[in-house]
Amino acid sequence: MRDIASILPLSVDRVSFTGEGRKLVDVVSFAVPAGGLTVLLGPNGAGKSLTLRLCHGLLKPSAGEIAWANGAAGRVKRHAMVFQKPIMLRRSVEANIAHALAAAGISGIERRQRCGAALDRFGLGERAAQPARLLSGGEQQRLAIARAWALRPELLFLDEPTSQLDPAATRQIEELLSGLVAEGITVMMSTHDLGQAKRLANRVLFLHRGRLVEDRPAADFFAGPLAPEARAFLAGELIW
């Protein structure tokens, strides 16, 4: 049976994460409604990756609550995550996608169809049989996104997806992400690349030392951030 109730909005309610005796995420609250692209922005060590990992369920909050609209009642997880450095299995491009689908319990004809659709959609058809680890960095990230897309997520998390890529590969990935949003997939990504945030975001969550200091529509944020830390960051001043 298909799980039809939407998982969105995602609600993050007074979430903290403590590590090595420090509050690395400090009483953070926000909601992610369906649609659009939210950028988590902030300097190194602000807690962007941790926040994404907490939302995706890879880490457990030390305090507070992360809740999905359907109570995460479905059998199939409908959020996926793509990492800064894509994790490629020592298998072919196609087998990397097939493996993710198998791990999500999708088998038989449906798995083959979804694999084929992902290879086509992301321009990887000609590479299907090649070892994934021999792809370029940009192609590996494209495969990582294709693999996540094949799982049909409602919400896709990406942690600094282009920080290891050159400008041409970055542009390709940004186009793909805009395409996913146009398709109706909700995207939440971290970046410390201001240009990228300006190009892609509808909304900005600005983090500083584990605290969410600003949560605003991107146009308003870039026109004039309210928080002094965000103003300093946009002005290119060193903050930590």
Residue count, binding to ligand ATP (CB under 6 A): 13
Give yes or no for residue 45 binding ligand ATP (CB under 6 A): yes
CA angle 34/40/46 to nearest 5° reads: 145
**Nearest distance in Å: CB 188, ligand ATP:** 13
Give yes or no for residue 24 binding ligand ATP (CB under 6 A): yes
**Nearest distance in Å: CB 96, ligand ATP:** 24
Give yes or no for residue 50 binding ligand ATP (CB under 6 A): yes
**Nearest distance in Å: CB 151, ligand ATP:** 23
Q: Please choose, out of 43-51, 63-71, 115-123, 213-221, the segment that lies near ligand ATP by the rule CB under 6 A.
A: 43-51
Give yes or no for residue 42 binding ligand ATP (CB under 6 A): yes
Q: Which of residues 179-208 bind ligand ATP (CB under 6 A)?
A: 190, 192
3-state secondary structure the chain: CCCCCCCCCEEEEEEEEEECCEEEEEEEEEEECCCCEEEEECCCCCCHHHHHHHHHCCCCCCEEEEEECCCCCCCCCCEEEECCCCCCCCCEHHHHHHHHHHHCCCCHHHHHHHHHHHHHHCCCHHHCCCEHHHCCHHHHHHHHHHHHHHCCCCEEEEECCCCCCCHHHHHHHHHHHHHHHHCCCEEEEEECCHHHHHHHCCEEEEEECCEEEEEEEHHHHHHCCCCHHHHHHHCCCCCC
Which is closer to ligand ATP, CB of 163 or CB of 202? 163
- Find the binder of ligand ATP among 12, 15, 41, 47 (CB under 6 A): 47
Which is closer to ligand ATP, CB of 147 or CB of 208? 208
**Nearest distance in Å: CB 197, ligand ATP:** 13
Which is closer to ligand ATP, CB of 96 or CB of 190? 190
Residues that bind ligand ATP (CB under 6 A): 19-20, 24, 42, 44-50, 190, 192
